[in-house]
Structure 1
Amino acid sequence: MALSDADVQKQIKHMMAFIEQEANEKAEEVEAKAEEEFNIEKGRLVQTQRVKIMEYYEKKEKQIEQQKKIRMSNLMNQARLKVLKTRDDMVTDLLNEARKRLADIAKDPAKYSMLLEGLVLQGFYQQLEPKVIIRCRKEDVALVEGAVQKNIPIYKETVKRNIEVSIDKDNFLSPDVSGGVEVYNANGKIKVSNTLESRLELLAQQMMPEIRVELFGANQNRKFMD
């Protein structure tokens, strides 16, 4: 039995509706899958960028922390250098004050005479030469002559040898020297400086650790005193 035109149109419409429904379902399936893949990729990209941002700021934080440590270290070193310079300035001022007071020593003839005797005799012992030349201040010639005469017998008795001493009256110590003597061997090539200034410098070097302890207290980080 042949189908009528109406039946044919009805079946065509039914088939078109079925095809359209399947197309829509397929489109929805593709769209859902695409949305899922999009969300997965978006999540991956977001996570990747989040990690990059976290790594970037972590690196920046470490750089800032390192810069802070370097700055703190520089500031501490600068402060330490300032403290050391201030201490050195204090020691220098102390020694300068001591140098200024050296001139007062020669103002007491009795004490200065005894001091000269010790400095002259020490010069003899340090030279251990048969002939020595002494240089002193012009105003100290008489005191030095007395010290020489007193110390020659002491020296001879101690070292069991003679000594010939002359005082250089053509070349005196500089006016800047506060006192004391310089003792030379016969040819003038070996000098023992026993001026008040040289003795102060030697004493300052030997006693510098004690001076610093008195001024600034003991250094807790110092293991050895020599």
Structure 2
Amino acid sequence: MALSDADVQKQIKHMMAFIEQEANEKAEEIDAKAEEEFNIEKGRLVQTQRLKIMEYYEKKEKQIEQQKKIQMSNLMNQARLKVLRARDDLIADLLNEAKQRLAKVVKDTARYQALLDGLILQGFFQLLEHKVFVRCRKQDLPLVKAAVQKSIPAYKTAAKKDIDVHVDQETFLPEQIAGGVEIYNSNGKIKVSNTLESRLDLIAQQMMPEIRVALFGANANRKFLD
């Protein structure tokens, strides 16, 4: 029995509804799958970016920590240098004060005469020359001549050799020199500086470790003592 047009249209509508339902279900399935894949990819990207951000800030923290260490080291070094400069300035001030006090030694004629005797005789032994020249301050000329006359026989006896000593009466040591003498060999190329200032500087160099300990205490970082 043939289907009527109405039945055909009814079956066509039924088939179209079935196809549409299948399409909708497939579309929903695709959408759900796409949403799932999107969420997975979004989570992966978020995690990746989160790790990158964590790595970035971890690196920044390390850089900041390193900069802090460098800055702290620089500050400590600057502080040490300031302390060392302050100590050096204090020692320089003390030496300058000691040099100013040398004038008191010169004012004590008997003490200064004995000092000149020793400085001149020591200069003779340091040079060990047959002929020497002695230079002094102009105001010290009488004392130096007396010291030379006293030192010559002492030198000859101890060194068992003659010495010809000339006291320079034309060229004198500068007035700012506190006292003492300079002794030269015959051609003037070798000099023994036995001024009060040079002797003070020499003693200060030799005693500098003891001076530093007396002023600032022992260095805790120093493992060996000379």
User: 1:165-219, CA deviations, whole angstroms, 9 ceiling, x for partnerless residues?
Assistant: 1211112211111111111112222111101011011111111111111111111
SS of residue in 2 equivalent to 1:181 = strand
Counterpart of 1:17 in structure 2 is 17
Q: CA RMSD in A?
A: 1.5
Counterpart of 1:140 in structure 2 is 140
Distance 1:186 1:27 in 2: 120
Instruction: Describe how 1:50-89 pairs up with structure 2 within 5 A.
Output: 50-89=50-89
Amino acid at match of 1:213: V
User: Are the counterparts in 2 of residues 182 and 193 from structure 1 also a CA contact under 8 Å?
Assistant: yes
Distance 2:54 2:109 in 1: 84
Instruction: Describe how 1:43-192 pairs up with structure 2 within 5 A.
Output: 43-192=43-192
TM-score (norm 2): 0.94
User: Are the counterparts in 2 of residues 209 and 225 from structure 1 also a CA contact under 8 Å?
Assistant: no
Q: CA deviation at 1:220?
A: 1.8
Counterpart of 2:221 in structure 1 is 221
Moved over 6 A (4+): none
Distance 2:6 2:132 in 1: 153
Amino acid at match of 2:167: I
Amino acid at match of 1:114: A
Identity level (%): 76
Amino acid at match of 1:5: D
Structure 2 unaligned spans of 5+? none
User: 1:63-119, CA deviations, whole angstroms, 9 ceiling, x for partnerless residues?
Assistant: 222222222222112211111111111011001001100111011112111111110
Q: CA deviation at 1:130?
A: 0.9
SS of residue in 2 equivalent to 1:222 = coil
Q: CA deviation at 1:224?
A: 4.2
Counterpart of 2:27 in structure 1 is 27
Amino acid at match of 1:95: L
Q: CA deviation at 1:6?
A: 3.7
Q: CA deviation at 1:21?
A: 1.7
User: 1:1-40, CA deviations, whole angstroms, 9 ceiling, x for partnerless residues?
Assistant: 2223343333223222221221111111111111111111
TM-score (norm 1): 0.94
Distance 2:57 2:188 in 1: 76
Q: CA deviation at 1:138?
A: 2.0
Distance 1:86 1:208 in 2: 16
Q: CA deviation at 1:52?
A: 1.7
SS of residue in 1 equivalent to 2:107 = coil
Distance 2:224 2:185 in 1: 38
Q: Count how many residue pairs are aligned between Structure 1 and Structure 2.
A: 226
SS of residue in 2 equivalent to 1:184 = strand
Distance 1:186 1:28 in 2: 119
Structure 1 unaligned spans of 5+? none
Q: CA deviation at 1:225?
A: 4.4
Q: CA deviation at 1:222?
A: 2.4
Distance 2:145 2:106 in 1: 16
Worse-matched range after superposition: 199-208 or 5-14:
5-14
Worse-matched range after superposition: 125-134 or 213-222:
213-222
Counterpart of 1:42 in structure 2 is 42
